Amino acid sequence: MNRIELDIVALSHSVTQSHNYAVVLGEIGGERRLPIVIGGFEAQAIAVAMENMSPNRPLTHDLFKNTLDTYNIEIKEIVINNLLDGIFYAQLICVQNGETVKIDSRTSDAIAMAVRYECPIFTFEFIMESAGVVLDDNESDKILKSEVNTSSKDKNNLANYSLNALNKMLDDVLAEEDYEKAAKIRDEINKRETN
């Protein structure tokens, strides 16, 4: 079967399902996108790893990575290997002492682990044919803008705070483990420091 390598293109609120998010995977070297609806916790876990944030205590996916690392198990790749009744299935392809082991996983958890291990994500042609979409530039912009629009009010509010106040606020929300808000505050701080 033809394997297709994917990369994370966007992470945003799901347009079709409230209280959920969508991770959009893009075909490397191609134009097709694979949108996958995921839960808020998993979206947060992916965002924290993508933004290289260090929570005060390990999140579940960080704990799992620490456990695998302790036993010298490395995740080499993620494979989204099936699609049944609108549900994606995935496997973690792990290596320990030269032996390869496949572990079943929810796709959202597999993606969260792929970000932590910086390993490739693959799927198969039949999945891309069934669930992949080709977005024109306007549609891609809409997905990315929906992510920006969901947090634009917070960013406008954050613009009213001093840099010292933002740094204190960042410490507070990290202590409360509100990583979504922490990412927004960090982005505002970074924006000011680069200007």
List, for residues 73-95, the tens digit of each pLDDT value: 999 999 999 999 889 999 999 99
Domain end among 150, 167, 185:
150
Q: How high is the pLDDT of residue 16? A: 62
Q: Is the dihedral of CA 51, 58, 152, 114 positive or negative?
A: positive
Q: How high is the pLDDT of residue 155? A: 38
Q: How high is the pLDDT of residue 146? A: 44
177 and 115 in a single domain? The answer is no
Amino acid at 83: L
Amino acid at 145: K
Q: How high is the pLDDT of residue 68? A: 96
Report the chain's mean pLDDT, rounded to a whole number: 83
- Strand 32-38 and strand 73-84: the pairing is unpaired
Instruction: Give the Cα separation of 25 and 144 in Å (integer).
Output: 13
187 pLDDT band, cuts 50/70/90, is confident
114 and 26 in a single domain? The answer is yes
pLDDT at 186 over 70: yes
CATH of the domain at 114: 3.10.690.10
Instruction: Give the Cα separation of 64 and 152 in Å (integer).
Output: 33
Amino acid at 53: M
Instruction: Give the Cα separation of 166 and 184 in Å (integer).
Output: 10
Contact 189, 163 (CB under 8 A): yes
Q: How high is the pLDDT of residue 77? A: 98
The count of domains in the chain is: 2
Q: How high is the pLDDT of residue 116? A: 96
If one compares 106 and 134, the residue with the highest pLDDT of the two is 106
65 and 25 in a single domain? The answer is yes
User: Residues 3-44: pLDDT tens digits?
Assistant: 999 999 988 876 666 678 889 999 999 999 999 999 888 998
User: Residues 101-132: pLDDT tens digits?
Assistant: 999 999 999 999 999 999 999 999 999 999 99
33 to each of 7, 143, 192, how far by Cα in Å?
A: 9, 11, 33
Hey, how many other C-beta atoms are within 10 angstroms of the C-beta on 25? 24
111 and 172 in a single domain? The answer is no
145 and 157 in a single domain? The answer is no
158 to each of 35, 119, 161, 168, 183, how far by Cα in Å?
A: 30, 34, 6, 12, 12
18 and 29 in a single domain? The answer is yes
141 and 163 in a single domain? The answer is no
Q: How high is the pLDDT of residue 18? A: 64
Q: If DSSP codes are grouped into helix, strand and coil, which group holds residue 157?
A: helix
The enclosing H or E element of 61 equals: helix 60-70
Q: How high is the pLDDT of residue 153? A: 35
